[in-house]
């Protein structure tokens, strides 16, 4: 394998890794601060892609300039975030104090609802909105063409990771949220409106999931069932990186993305098997993940 091909494989691996990262950080936020395992996150990711397709398709048919298509990405993600304001009080508020298996079952059912609803509204055929992707063209890297739009995604994912780190560790609200995750009752006694805080955090997690689907749409397609594979691999990322760890999510997503990219190039029959082999080894050697906290006696 020549060096040029290796570089392209690495870039493709990071492209996929950052997609997983954007889904996983939403899962990590919900589990790390609310102890909710949300399988429906994959459906919210897919909803972001489909809603953004609808916005871009409408804007393109109306002949709007290219910057309007860029605006469709955050608008589509915001619309997904609005769904959080509906499903959080109706469903998730009832799950916060229950054991994790209840949230797994409930959100799996919600995932199926999202998938069937998207298929009913948009049909079963893949939908493409590649105007931005084509408009940005390609770059030549070591003599090989590579889509310029992919570098937008790299920059975007890094900006999201940095922004979340600043939010959670350098702002007052982030400190309050981390304190509430440690002791909800004490935070309530100190005057924190835990209910509103959880709703705001849930909106943030869902918005990021929708933004992940929206930003990836121009480089891929929106298709029925697109949320199922990412959500399975995102849980693998969570376990390998450590439950609730944003740094772990980034490192583990990078590992899985690179393993998949090289697996597809070298051993396409085994690429998923290698990913789950890494997961099994992690559970044997370091059950709490690479950056996870030590288990308490109750958690064991």
pLDDT digits (tens, 9 = 90+) for 48-66: 999 999 999 999 989 888 8
- Give me the pLDDT at residue 296, please: 46
In angstroms, rounded to a whole number, what is the distance separating the alpha carbons of residues 167 and 193? 19
* CA atoms of 49 and 134, how far apart (whole Å): 18
Closest residue by Cα to residue 209 from 17, 16, 15, 21:
21
Residue 76 has a pLDDT of 94
CA 96 vs CA 85, 88, 180: distances in Å: 16, 10, 13
Q: Are strands 144-147 and 138-141 parallel, antiparallel or unpaired?
A: antiparallel
Q: 215: part of which helix (H) or strand (E)?
A: helix 194-216
How far is C-alpha 242 from the chain's CA centre? 16
Nearest CA-CA partner of 30 in 215, 193, 231 = 231
DSSP 11: H
Those residues of the chain that have pLDDT short of 50 are 295-300
Exposed e or buried b per residue across 25-56, where buried means at least 16 C-beta atoms within 10 angstroms of its C-beta: bbbbbbbbbbbbbbbbbbbbbbbbbbbbbbbb
The whole-number pLDDT of residue 92 equals 86
Looking at the DSSP bridge assignments, the partners of residue 127 are 222
Residue 297's pLDDT is: 43
């Amino acid at each position: 394998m020549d060096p040029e091909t290796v570089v392209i494989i690495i870039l493709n691996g990071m492209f996929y890794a950052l997609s997983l990262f954007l889904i996983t950080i939403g899962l990590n936020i919900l589990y790390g601060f609310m102890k909710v395992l949300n399988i429906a996150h994959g459906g919210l990711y897919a909803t972001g892609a489909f809603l953004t397709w609808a916005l871009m398709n409408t804007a393109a048919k109306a002949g709007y300039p290219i910057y309007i298509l860029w605006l469709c990405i955050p608008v589509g993600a915001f619309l997904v975030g609005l769904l959080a304001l509906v499903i959080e009080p109706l469903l998730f508020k009832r799950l916060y104090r229950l054991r994790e298996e209840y949230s797994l079952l409930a959100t799996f059912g919600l995932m199926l609802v999202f998938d069937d609803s998207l298929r009913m509204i948009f049909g079963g055929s893949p939908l493409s909105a590649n105007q931005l992707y084509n408009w940005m063209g390609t770059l030549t890297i070591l003599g090989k063409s590579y889509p310029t739009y992919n570098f937008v995604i790299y920059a975007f994912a890094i900006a999201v990771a940095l922004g979340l780190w600043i939010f959670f560790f350098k702002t007052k609200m982030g400190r309050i949220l981390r304190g509430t995750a440690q002791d909800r009752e004490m935070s309530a006694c100190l005057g924190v409106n835990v209910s509103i805080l959880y709703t705001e955090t849930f909106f943030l997690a869902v918005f990021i999931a929708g933004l992940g689907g929206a930003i990836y749409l121009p480089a891929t397609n929106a298709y029925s069932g697109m949320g199922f594979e990412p959500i399975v691999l995102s849980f693998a990322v969570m376990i390998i990186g450590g439950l609730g760890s944003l740094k772990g999510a980034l490192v583990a997503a990078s590992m899985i993305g690179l393993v998949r990219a090289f697996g597809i190039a070298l051993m396409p029959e085994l690429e998923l098997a290698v990913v789950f082999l890494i997961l099994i080894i992690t559970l044997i050697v370091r059950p709490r993940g690479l950056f996870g906290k030590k288990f308490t006696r109750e958690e064991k």
